[in-house]
Structure 1
Amino acid sequence: MVNEEKISGSQLRAARSWLDLSQDEVAAETSLTRTTIVRLERDPSAVQERTRRDVRKFYEGKGIRFLFREGIGVGLST
């Protein structure tokens, strides 16, 4: 279940890097602010679940697959 999986900030930074996107580009494409993207990459629990879900959907729509072990984010693949 998505709600039980905890994406890490490092997974989000890796996904952005993999896609060669800046924080500004992710913010623009997700209709969020750059400040929100920065906070999300530092500590995903610092933002609302809806924001985490929307950013995850954005990356998954670009072909990123987040990997989890026992609900904790451990990596990503494409």
Structure 2
Amino acid sequence: MQLMVNGALVTREQVRAARAWLNWSQDELSAKSGVSRRSIAMYEAGRTLPYDDTLEKLRHTFEVAGVRFHFVGMVGRGISFNPEGESSP
């Protein structure tokens, strides 16, 4: 299962990887993003797709923390980390 960020597909594996890279539990991501832990767990397990506003909250939370999603065409293929967060180019 995949979800959209600016028209590109972000995989649940990218979401898990971003959380792991930041060493955040699902509870921590939930507290930082305002998305329920259950919603995060269900998406990471491939059991559901999030609503657009849920995706936006997760994306923003990760980007503020410095995570960047990478794509090949429109499909998510990896992540990287910018410790300066979203304010850096």
- TM-score of the two chains, using structure 2 as the length reference: 0.78
Corresponding position of 1:36: 39
Unaligned runs of 5+ in 1: none
Q: Pick from 38, 59, 62: which aligns with 2:62?
A: 59
Which structure ranks higher in relative contact order (CA pairs < 8 Å, sequence separation ≥ 6)?
A: 1
Deviation at 1:69, TM superposition (A): 0.7
Once residues 20 and 52 of structure 2 are traced to their aligned partners in structure 1, the CA distance between those partners, rounded to angstroms, is: 22
Q: Pick from 8, 11, 16: which aligns with 1:8?
A: 11
Root-mean-square deviation (Å): 1.6
Report the identity percentage: 35
- Give the 4+ runs in structure 1 shifted more than 4 A: none
Deviation at 1:51, TM superposition (A): 0.7
Once residues 18 and 70 of structure 2 are traced to their aligned partners in structure 1, the CA distance between those partners, rounded to angstroms, is: 11
* Structure 1 or 2: more strand by fraction: 2
CA deviation vs aligned residue, 1:2-24 (integer Å, no higher than 9, x gap): 43111100000000000000001
